[in-house]
Amino acid sequence: MNALHNEIAFDFSLPKLLECARPTEVRGITRDGVRLMVSRRSNDRIHHNRFSEIGQFLKEGDVLIINTSGTMNAAIPTRLPNGQEARIHLSTKLSQEEWLVEIRQVIGHKTKRFKGLKEGAFFSLPQGAKAKITAPFYQNKKERDHIQLWKARFFLNELMEDYLEKNGHPIQYGNLDKKYPPAFYQTVFADEKGSAEMPSAGRAFTPKLVTQLMVKGVQFAPVVLHTGVSSLEIGEKPYPEYYRVPLFSASLINRAREEDRRIIAVGTTAIRAVESSLDENTGRVIPSEGMTELYITPGRGLKVVNAMLTGFHEPKASHLLMLEALASRRHLVKAYEAAIEKKYQWHEFGDLHLIV
């Protein structure tokens, strides 16, 4: 693995066979039957377990921050101007009619960004609906960094949520062997659909496991972050996403911080939500909601979270910088080398990594 500059995520070679192609339900194991790698920042020790055994590494008073956002059927079939099959991937809701979207052309059972898009283009959608591309989205308006997300206005005869239930399907990428039903993309915590892609770090939890952890004295702090598309390319920074941190969770987290207890984020989405709710003046988490543009890097650091559960991320992915804000690059490189050696599975239906 190559150690690069601290604000550039590290690179490594990911063997194709480690890209998980099938959900647990199809592989004949329970959701909590995926593997769990636990790495300790203090001494670089690494443990290999099943996720069902996560309770061994949690203790009474630990607070798990969970994302209760549910996954939308955010991929809508359409055609490119040349007639080629394509998908509109919804990413972020700007209003009931306007969304940030990504246009992807279909090649075999995979999709690829379509980069020949122009403002004013219309796309025909199922049931006579239409979408109009209204403007490119610039990550940085001054520098005009275009990350291939576009603003689009939708012309529907019903609410988008109802339309997607009937005409959309979950976003999926080329690592999967085929399409899978929407239920496979919901976590046990989901109670409010709004994510373009599953907050997958929470997928391995089952009702039975949650109950066991609660009996143990582990506390759960729900937050919401409606995650957008995860198909950013190297060098592209995360973009605005809707988040909400309720009073109950803010109070629970603040109390745990005062008592020097562990605050463990379940996924990078949970981190982005709670770190966006930090009052820089008081150093406390406050109830808040809105669009967050927070970009967490080692330079910014983490102010609230001191441990996390996450999936394994692709080479140079921006999420690796968020992990590096918690653990050193040296520690992460060591952990990822161990994960590859032990053949852990990557992507949304794969294995998980607990950093404590």
CATH number of 75-167: 2.40.10.240
Lowest mean pLDDT among 76-90, 172-186, 211-225: 172-186
Q: What is the pLDDT of residues 149-181, one digit of tens each?
A: 899 999 999 999 999 999 999 998 878 888 899
The conformation of residue 16, written as its DSSP 8-state character, comes to G
Which whole number is the average pLDDT over 91-107? 93
Rounded alpha-carbon distances, angstroms, from residue 27 to 58, 172, 174, 184, 310: 27, 18, 18, 13, 21
Tell me the Cα Rg of the chain.
20
Query: What is the structure's pLDDT at 8?
Result: 75
Mean pLDDT of the chain: 92
Query: What is the structure's pLDDT at 3?
Result: 40
Taking 90 as the threshold, does the pLDDT of residue 28 lie above it? yes
Domain segments of the chain as ranges? 16-71+181-355, 75-167
Lowest mean pLDDT among 25-29, 75-79, 122-126, 177-181: 177-181
Fold for 16-71+181-355, please state it: QueA-like (3.40.1780)
Which whole number is the average pLDDT over 20-43? 95
- What percentage of the chain carries pLDDT values higher than 70? 93
Alpha-carbon gap, residue 326 to 250, rounded angstroms: 20
Taking 70 as the threshold, does the pLDDT of residue 234 lie above it? no
Taking 60 as the threshold, does the pLDDT of residue 107 lie above it? yes
pLDDT band of 233, cuts 50, 70, 90: low
The conformation of residue 258, written as its DSSP 8-state character, comes to H
Query: What is the structure's pLDDT at 201?
Result: 96
- 3-state SS, residue 88: strand
Q: What is the pLDDT of residues 237-256, one digit of tens each?
A: 778 899 999 999 999 999 99
Q: What is the pLDDT of residues 283-305, one digit of tens each?
A: 999 999 999 989 898 999 999 99
Which whole number is the average pLDDT over 212-225? 98
Which whole number is the average pLDDT over 195-216? 97
- Whether residue 315 contacts residue 274, with contact meaning beta carbons closer than 8 Å, is answered with no
Taking 80 as the threshold, does the pLDDT of residue 232 lie above it? no
**Close Cβ partners of 66 (under 8 Å, ≥ 6 residues apart):** 189, 202, 220, 221, 222, 223, 266, 270
Which whole number is the average pLDDT over 37-61? 97
Which DSSP helix (H) or strand (E) runs through 275?
A: helix 268-276
Taking 50 as the threshold, does the pLDDT of residue 216 lie above it? yes
Alpha-carbon gap, residue 115 to 111, rounded angstroms: 12
Which whole number is the average pLDDT over 2-25? 80
Rounded alpha-carbon distances, angstroms, from residue 137 to 34, 46, 87, 94, 133: 37, 41, 18, 12, 11
